[in-house]
Structure formats: structure tokens, C-alpha cells
Chains A and B, each alone.
Chain A
Amino acid sequence: MECSARPSLSRTPLIRNSIYHKVLRSVSTIPTSEPSLHTNEKEDKIHQGDHYVKIPDRGLLELYGSDTVKFLQGLITNDMPSISSGGDGFYAAFLNPVGRVMFDSFIHPKNLGTSFPQPTFLVECDSRIIPEIIKHMKKYLLRSNVKITDVSSFYQIWNVWGNKINNLWWRNQVPNPSATKLHSGALVLKENIAEIGCRDKRYPNMGLRLVLPVDIKPTVPNSFTELPSKEYIIRRILHGVPEGIHDFPQGEALPLQSNFDYMGGIDFRKGCYIGQELTFRTYHTGITRKRILPVQLYHEGESVPTTLELDRNSNFPLPPPSSNITVLNRKGRPVGSIGTSYHNIALALLKLDIIQNNDLVVDNGQGEKLRVKAFIPNWWPKVEDGKDTEEKPKETAVVI
């Protein structure tokens, strides 16, 4: 068992006069021989253009005190020192000691202006399990100087996306726009549409995530229009971005299965944190056999979907979260489970070697077996043909 963030040396075969340039990484078992169906790169019709939405079901805990950075560093999968002096927040997971996901979260430095660095952070997580998160944190608090307060009622989280978002996040504010040249040493002010927030990097085009006081709307140009909160959920499903208690049932999924690696939520170089041991070992030596993917639900007798197509008129009963997905007429263990669902689409944790199967079914909770068709998000890292599971470290001979 490794405890520190160093790969065990004994596993690396020593070859004289050669240097390994590549370290083994975890691979996913996506079958590469047959073409898999990918999600559409284009946004849904309603999501095209510049938009902003209120993100539903998110709460915030404020952590304040001199030990906050050290305390969170021991609890999360991402690297606190990188945001300890303020700036943008990041995505991270809280794991339990055996390495399973307890909660997904964003950690936002509460940029307090000139009085920073005062270590104050907002931990953004599912609002429906705030008491459990506080309990989880308090277990490890001991004598740490950290105060935990539920501040959910003071803030609203927003998602802003579209082509123009780059001009909203830390734009330069030139003091005199008509001047052709600034004199040397001129200060160029930078302006931001929110003090607290970040670029949401889980999916490349996800957009900005803003934490604003509860009564304030994002100040965006006229080209941006507000969409109802449910569009956030739909967009999340269409692009395969899991979030909250339905996609991460507490203490069940592993962080790599939950795409935290693809979504930039894990720093594999940081030192010990709760659950690191298994996560780190899987990354270097293991294979990830399951992942969370977008799926389309349809009825028996309908043709198998070839593109992930949202049907906003669809309102059939949906399977409750954590419903088992099975292969039709095959006995044995379930091959996956359902997470968030809306209209005719859902997120599902599925075994990757069966995702091309057209006989996947899930019970809708009322006795009907819905068909499940899985799609691979187009933004996932591509696995090239032939260098899948058996990838060997490449050697470069060095003459000494």
C-alpha cells in the first residue's frame, strides 16, 4: 500500500541506459474496434447563443480560520495551495477513507479585497445534504482553527455560457479606450463580473460559474438571456457532466468512475488526503471499467437512437435515481445505474465494455422496462486504436 504521492519504485522495471518518459496511467475500457456513438458537439437549439441560468440545488458552507487551507487539503482531491491566496475556485471531490466519493464540490476562495489573504473559502455542494457535509467535516476538525457556517441563504450560484464569456471574466479595463498607446508603467485595471467564482472546466464549454449575493443577477451584455434552471440540468446531462446527490450517491462511486479525472477535479501530485491511496493506485496501475455517461431512454419497439436527441415533449415516468440498469434477458449483476434524469435523457454509471449494447434496460419505477442507449461525450480524451489497455512505457535509449 502506498501512502505518499510517489509511485512505488519496485514496480518500475529497471533497464540499464534507458529512461522512462512515460508513466503508466489508468486506462478506460472503451472498445475501440467498433465505432461508438458520441454526443453532438453542437449545443441544443435552446442552449445556443449566450445564456445564463440559476443553478438549482446548490448550497454553500463558509470555512474561516487560520487552518482552513490545511484542513481542506486533507479532505479533498484537488490541491488547495493553488488557490490559497485567492482567485478562481476549482472543482474537487470529498472521498471517504476507502476512496469512494462522498460529495462533489467547488471550492471558491472568498476574495475579500485588500484584506486578503484571509483564509476564507466557500465550499459549494448539493444543498440537500448540507448537514451530512458539516458532519463529515466536523469529524476531522479536532483542534483545527476552522469555523464552518452554512451561508447558503446569502448566495445564488449562476452558470453563464456563450461565445462572449471570455470578455466577462477578468477583462482588461483600459482607462482611456481612445488612447493608442499607454505610457509605460500605466496600470490597467482588471474587472470581473463576480468576486467569487471560476471557469467551470468540467466540460470545456461549460462556461462560467458565479457565486453572487442572493438578490443580484449577473451583469451581462444584452446578448445574454436567462433560461429556466431546468435547462442547466438538461445541458449538464447532454454533455455528460454529473453533479449532486443523484449522480454521486454518497460513498458508492469511485472518483475515476465519476470522471473527476476528466473534469479536472483531481490533482495526482498532491500529498495525502482522505481516500488518496486507492485513487492514486488506480490512476497508475488500474483500469477504469465504469464511467458516468449520458444516455437516452426510449420505449420498447421504438428504433434505437443514433444521436442523443432531447425530446422536450417527453414526460413519461422516469426511473428513480440509483435504479439498476441490466442487460435484457441476462441474469447476473446490474451493469450500471441511473443518476439524474430529465425528459427522455439521463446520466448513468455504466460498464464501458457494454455501452454499445442495444439491449440495456432500466425499470421506470412503475414496472415498465425502458430501453437505455449510451453515448460517449465528444469532449472525452480519445483513446487511439491499438494502444489501449496494453500500453507499455516507451523507452528512450540514452548513452551514458
Chain B
Amino acid sequence: MHIEITDRAVKQLKYISEQEKNSNNALRITVDSGGCHGFQYFYDLMESNSFKEDDVVFENDGVKVVVDEISLGMIKGSKIDYTEELIGSQFQVSDNPQAASGCGCGISFEIKV
């Protein structure tokens, strides 16, 4: 049950903290049903002191990523990355071992049964 946070994601989260002058930021990643492939990633910024009971926190270089247990089951082993592409710059869950296929924009995915 591990999640890797890439250097690019660390850099971007630090940048956000700097901009907002808030060193307590954490990135929450949630998986919910939706999108054209059935499941969808959601990204939220949260205060790192408002964790819930079933939250698991991953850290890299002081940057925190928070995933709840249900979502973790579907993204464990993935990388949390920050991509800058023509379609838009965004945090992204990549190399998800549980995902069978995904849609073009990388937000929706199908789960392996």
C-alpha cells in the first residue's frame, strides 16, 4: 500500500502553499464513480489538520497527499504526478496498477476485476 509522490507534484504543491501562504496544505485524492470509464479521480486541497479517521497520509519532502481507505484500494501503487500539457496542467494519478484502461483526458478509468 504505497503511493509515490513525484518531484513535479512536490514542487507544485510547495508552489501552491507559497502562493497561498499556508504551509498546512495537503492534496486530497478521492476516487468516485463517474466519467465515461466508470471511475473518476477527484483532487482537492485541504487543511492537513482536518484528517478523518479512515484517511491515510503519504509524505514526500514535507508535502502531504491524503487518501481515504476506499479510494486507496483503487489507487495503491500509483504515482501522484503533476503534468503540464496542452490539454491543461493538472495533478494526475499515473501508472495505476488497478486501472484497466482510461479515457483520453486521464480523469476517468476502468477498474480491473
B45 within 8 A of A: no
CA distance A108 to B89 in the complex (A): 41
A311 within 8 A of B: no
Given A3-B103, A3-B104, decide whether A273 and B33 contact each other with a Cβ distance below 8 A: no
Q: Report the stretch among A47-55, A136-144, A236-244, A324-332 that lies at the interface.
A: A136-144
Interface size class on chain A is 20 to 34
Q: How far, in angstroms, from A270 to B58 measured CA to CA in the complex?
A: 37
A272 touches B104 (CB 8 A): no
Q: Is residue A276 contacting chain B, with contact meaning CB distance below 8 A?
A: yes
Verify if B38 is at the interface (C-beta below 8 Å from A).
Answer: yes
Supposing A97-B38, A140-B38, A142-B70 touch, asked if A3 and B33 sit within 8 A by C-beta, the answer is no
Given A97-B110, A274-B38, A276-B36, A1 and B104 touching (CB < 8 A)?
yes
Per the bound structure, the CA–CA distance linking A61 and B77 in Å amounts to 36
Contacts of B36 in A (CB 8 A): 3, 97, 272-277
**Is B32 interfacial (CB-CB < 8 Å)?**
yes
B100 surroundings in chain A (CB, below 8 A): 97
Q: How far is the CB of A266 from chain B (nearest CB, A)?
A: 14
B6 at interface, CB cutoff 8 A: no
A74 with B105: in contact, given A97-B38, A142-B70 (CB under 8 Å)?
no
Within 8 A of A (CB), among B18-36: 31-36
State how many angstroms separate the Cβ of B100 from the closest Cβ of chain A.
8
Please, how many angstroms separate the alpha-carbon atoms of A144 and B34 in the complex? 11
Residue of A nearest to B33 (CB): A140
- Complex Cα–Cα for A274 and B40 (A): 11
Assembly CA distance A236 to B100 (angstroms): 38
Chain B neighbourhood of A272, CB < 8 A: 34-36, 108
A-B contact list, 26 entries, CB within 8 Å: A1-B104, A2-B104, A3-B104, A3-B107, A74-B33, A74-B34, A74-B35, A74-B38, A97-B101, A139-B38, A139-B111, A140-B33, A140-B38, A140-B39, A142-B31, A142-B33, A143-B32, A143-B70, A144-B33, A272-B36, A274-B36, A274-B38, A275-B36, A276-B36, A277-B37, A277-B104
A interface residues, Cβ below 8 angstroms from B: 1-4, 71, 74-75, 97-98, 139-144, 272-277
Shortest 10 CB-CB distances between A and B: which pairs? A1-B104, A140-B33, A97-B110, A276-B36, A3-B103, A277-B36, A97-B37, A272-B36, A3-B105, A74-B34
